[in-house]
Structure 1
Amino acid sequence: MPLDRIVPLAAAGPARVLNRYGPTEATVGVATFEVTADGPATGPVPTGRPLPHARVYVLDERTRPAPLGVPGELYLGRDRLARSYLNRPGLSCAAASPTGCPIGGGVRPGLTGDPAGWRPSPGRPAHR
């Protein structure tokens, strides 16, 4: 849903309006973005900042970290991600990348299939 349909809800009263992102690959929510009356008013609702113990990555077509403004695909990592896809072993960063997964540190990333890109505000990937 676009922001121009959600921002009026944030402006209407004392309740907080949150976008909680959690695709089927995740066992729970992964990222949260608070919609405010004085924040962005148009475009896609940002995915938001990762919740504790979650990682959100935007990787390009070669599964390299996508810089600001470059379209990519949303990948998730850490303990909020399911260990595997039932009968679909190709849906992982290592399987999707011809050069292997660029994310180190024991991260177990998985692709979501969601197009994304980094916004100028740090930590706020947005769906495209």
Structure 2
Amino acid sequence: MNILDVAESARVMPVARNGVGGDPEAFTLDATRGIDMPKSDHRVAQLDRSIAQLDRSIESRLTNYESARRHLPEVAAYVRVQRTLMADHHPEGGRWGALCLADHDPMMPWPCDGVRKFDSPTAYYD
């Protein structure tokens, strides 16, 4: 499972609601912000190449960290949490510089400090 799979499954859940006149209207429940967005889609549909490259870099770091420390029982849980956190930190609309979808106060452009930390080689030292 890669970061984008986690982002898709953990953050966005489609739900159906009754619209005007009983016609079902498509809603997207954005789990990170807890709001319904009628007829909109905040999923990362198409990533910029630079975003995909950064995702691959982070995924590679996590995979290397996990494989080098698989003898430690807590490593799998740590990596799972890191991937879930990374899934929350993606740009709205899949565009570099767009707002990060994680819960930042104030909202930050992507890549945010969290993403920069995930891609830092020193983040995976013990």
- Could you tell me the TM-score, scaled by structure 2's length? 0.24
Higher relative strand content: 1
Higher Rg of the two aligned structures: 2
Higher relative helix content: 2
